[in-house]
Amino acid sequence: MPKNINSLIEGYKKFRSQYYSGDSAVFEKLVRHGQHPKVLMIACSDSRVDPAIITNCEPGDLFVVRNVANLVPPYQADDSHHGTSAALEFAVCNLKIRHVVVFGHSQCGGIRALVENADIPYPSYSFVSKWMELAQSACDQTYQNHPTASLEEKAHHCGHYAIINSLNNLMTFPWIVDGIQQGNLFIHGWFFDLSTGSIDACNLKTGTFEELGASREM
């Protein structure tokens, strides 16, 4: 049963007693020394895939961007408001994070809608549809390479291709390319399977996904 707002208020009280009193000095340190996370996670907004919970992280460990279907747009120095690119820039250029993880997952509503070519539920303009155009090439690739697969399987493949697409888009940001070339920055593509709890990581050389931690490439 999902929590309602009153449960969140109870949770907040528990959080304060855990992190702001007693022996725990987690936030005291984070306030005194600032944040120095080493990892940027680009994850989906889906309520089931909180990267901090899945990777057993504490406050201060992860710099996180969450958007629909964990997509990275290409570098576009135009006059629009680019939220994900702004977070990327801050994490890479200011915080000097060492790792960028594109964190996808199974059963993703955004990916599923793309694969199903679902109708837009809004008559005028859909921000979701426009946003998901970023993954259209992943969808096209899915239909090209797996024409007979079920919708479920197509969504799975498309989730993988969309991660690879986002990794490629990361490489359009000049300061990300610089960081990688200097050996200061590493990019990763992870795919979390909701039904098994396992994470597969993209082998950047082959484009295939293997269990996280199984290879040094990860």
Residues in contact with Zn ion by the rule CB under 5 A: 44, 46, 108
* Nearest distance in Å: CB 46, Zn ion: 4
* Nearest distance in Å: CB 68, Zn ion: 7
d(CA 110, CA 63): 23
Choose between 120 and 214: whose C-beta lies nearer to Zn ion. Answer: 120
Residue 18: Cβ within 10 Å count: 11
| Residue 92 CB-half CA count within 13 A | 25
Choose between 44 and 187: whose C-beta lies nearer to Zn ion. Answer: 44
* Nearest distance in Å: CB 24, Zn ion: 32
Choose between 102 and 201: whose C-beta lies nearer to Zn ion. Answer: 102
Choose between 36 and 48: whose C-beta lies nearer to Zn ion. Answer: 48
Contact 53, 43 (CB under 8 A): no
Residue 96: Cβ within 10 Å count: 13
| Strand pairing class (39-44; 99-105) | parallel
* Nearest distance in Å: CB 216, Zn ion: 29
